[in-house]
Amino acid sequence: MTLSLPASRTPDRDDAPPIRWGVLAPGGIARDWTAAVHATTASRVVAVGSRAQDRAQAFADEFGVDRAYGSYEQLVGDDGIDAVYVASPHSEHRDHALLALAAGKPVLVEKAFTRNAAEAAAVIDAARAANLLVVEAMWTRFLPHLDVVRQCLENGLLGEVKAVIADHGQHLYPDGPQRMSDPALAGGALLDLGIYPVSFAHLALGGFDRVQAFGTIATTGVDEGETIGVVSASGAVGTLSTTMAAHSACLASVIGTEARVDVDSWFYRPNTVRLFDGDDVELDRYEPPARTHGLAYQAAEFARLLADGRTESDLMPLDETLRIMQVLDEVRAQLGVRYPGEPG
């Protein structure tokens, strides 16, 4: 029998119910996310909050947003929004998510979810206590091509999974965004770039029993790059790498005893999935319906969850978000990277 890839089960983005979003912190990722939401979903950003009124107003003017606030407290207090998208630096995610939850607002929190696992647990506990929806904005988890990979794992199409390989490198240091090299903003390669291969492998292997990391530290004290070896409970291995000092191929593979799947370059974006047999013959491939506005899939899923009265996503469960943050903590501990204010 010839193996073939399953069809993606991911619903169309424009079929999700409309909700009214408030954007907290109008930076670069917020701009990309808002453009995607407006282009391909029924939802709209209706309010934006910044520490500076002029920044909020400029964002509102660019995207046709109704209300611009010069404080985050005003934004989360707006009764005309259904949910808050937290797009501030990693260092602020806990406080901003807690601020929104305290105001009774469901929250989509940019990845990495927080600086560390203790902060993640605080947000998760607050959300569960308030019975409010919170989702980590690990956008890859919601893309159609990753559902194809997920089904390959669920259906045993690959046989017994033995290995995962994934990498993500971008040339963002030393001449890139200042936040990447700033310990106070929880900078470094791991939380911004390395989380993609870690999250991919965590899904493919069902978690890690052992983690071993080797890396390079930038002059500012953040991690410049690392290679992370992981082992699952079944004995499958993963080789994961990231760097903010150079551009890498950004490929991902899941390798089983019967077959493997490869995801093309920039594996974490809408992408092609290829199925190979043990003789390296390509048996099938999946092409995504569109390679644009991939950030909208997570917003559409959030809207569906909110309409259904759910408090977390099966595609990115909160307990898994917490376990991934624990892995990132372990990697940083092995490398000797600590952010200001973290316990020694």
Q: Using alpha carbons only, what angle is made at residue 185 by residues 181 and 188, rounded to the nearest 5 degrees?
A: 40
What whole-number distance in Å separates Cα of residue 14 and Cα of residue 297? Answer: 9
Q: Which of 241, 233, 259 is nearest to 165 (CA)?
A: 241
Q: What is the largest CA-CA distance in the chain?
A: 63
H-helix or E-strand containing 200?
helix 195-205
Q: Using alpha carbons only, what angle is made at residue 36 by residues 285 and 88, rounded to the nearest 5 degrees?
A: 115
Catalytic one of 111, 115, 168, 269 = 111
What whole-number distance in Å separates Cα of residue 66 and Cα of residue 47? Answer: 6
Using DSSP bridges, classify how beta strands 107-110 and 83-86 pair: parallel, antiparallel or unpaired: parallel
Rounded CA Rg of the chain: 20
Using DSSP bridges, classify how beta strands 161-169 and 252-256 pair: parallel, antiparallel or unpaired: antiparallel
Residue 332 CA: distances (Å) to CA of 34, 122, 243, 272: 32, 20, 14, 32
190: amino acid identity, one letter: L
Tokens of 186: 């929880």
Tokens of 325: 């943050």
Q: Which of 221, 171, 163, 188 is nearest to 328 (CA)?
A: 188
Catalytic (active site) residue 105 = no
What whole-number distance in Å separates Cα of residue 265 and Cα of residue 255? Answer: 17
177: amino acid identity, one letter: P
Q: What are phi and psi of 147, to 5 degrees?
A: -65, -35
Q: Which of 52, 181, 170, 186 is nearest to 116 (CA)?
A: 186
Q: Which of 34, 44, 32, 40 is nearest to 11 (CA)?
A: 40
The catalytic residue positions are 111
